[in-house]
Amino acid sequence: MQRLLGNSQRCGVRPGIKPTGQSATISGERNPFRLEGEIALITGGGTGLGLAIARCMASAGARVVLAGRRAPVLKAAAATIGPRADFVVCDVTRFEAAGRVVARAEALFGPITILVNNAGIHLKKTALKTSDEEFLDVLKTHVLGSHAFTRAVLPNMLQRKHGSIIFIASMASLFGVPNVFAYSAAKSAYLGMVRALATEVSPSGVRVNAIAPGWIETDMSRQAMAGDPARKRRVLARTPLGTFGEPDDVGVAAVYLCSSAAKFVTGAVLPVDGGVSIGF
């Protein structure tokens, strides 16, 4: 994958090398990992995993639209990617506005063919200390927000019989993680959404998958580990690869799932976790 996408540290095009597009080859065949002609909308795209996914998709030839609440952050993020990137300002919890946000994104580059439901918030609290309001806030951002954006992009995808939707799940989707009760509920809901949606839309050419990142070096993961060195040691001890992942590890996985290399993959959950989900 590194050979196909360029520098894995930044998912950028190497200096002096021009993107090759769908005509790129692997042993004389068309490169199935390229994303030329694809237009991706990535919620929470200004920082962390969202930005890494955007950067990797742009490196693979896609045009990307970053969606989020902070215009200066989004503008700066899009500038680091270059002319293949632009942004729209939105709040994913304003569900009624999702259609208008998608329309603004499509006005920039064209019909959305890839949606990455990545926007999320973290709440480090036990079930006992999580209030109803806090629980609902997490569910609104992750579950209802992703549903609203999925519903907004689907009509055009179904009409064209082409599209890919990715939900960014979590290790908390796969096994019990203490002190993140609301977050675990929201990320676990993603897996049911992926499976149900895949059965509904895959016959019409729209694939739906999830990525379950392990512990990746991001601001959100650092917040989750803050003040808890014992937890950090436990995480690394149960990670077979013995290290934290990098955001671009998730980015190149997203490229794969949205590329023709994964044309027979739908309803799947891909752990990108250094082996955490199978470790002991």
User: Any idea which residues carry the catalytic annotation?
Assistant: 183
Locate 129 and state its tokens.
């200390």
Residue 231: C-alpha distances to residues 15, 59, 181, 227, 234 (Å): 40, 35, 16, 9, 5
Q: Is 232 exposed, middle or buried (0-12, 13-18, 19+ CB in 10 A)?
A: middle
Region of residue 21 (phi > 0: left; psi between -120 and 50: alpha; otherwise: beta): left
**Angle formed at CA 57 by CA 55 and CA 109, multiple of 5 degrees:** 100
CA–CA separation, 28 and 240 (whole Å): 36
What span, in angstroms and rounded, lies between the C-alpha atoms of 3 and 270?
21
* Tokens coding 224: 């989750």
* Nearest of 117, 206, 114 to residue 158 by alpha carbon: 206
Residue 146 CB burial class (10 angstroms; 0-12, 13-18, ≥19)? buried
Backbone angles phi, psi at 97, to 5 degrees: -95, -5
- 122 touches 180 (CB < 8 A): yes
Consecutive H or E run containing 64: strand 63-68
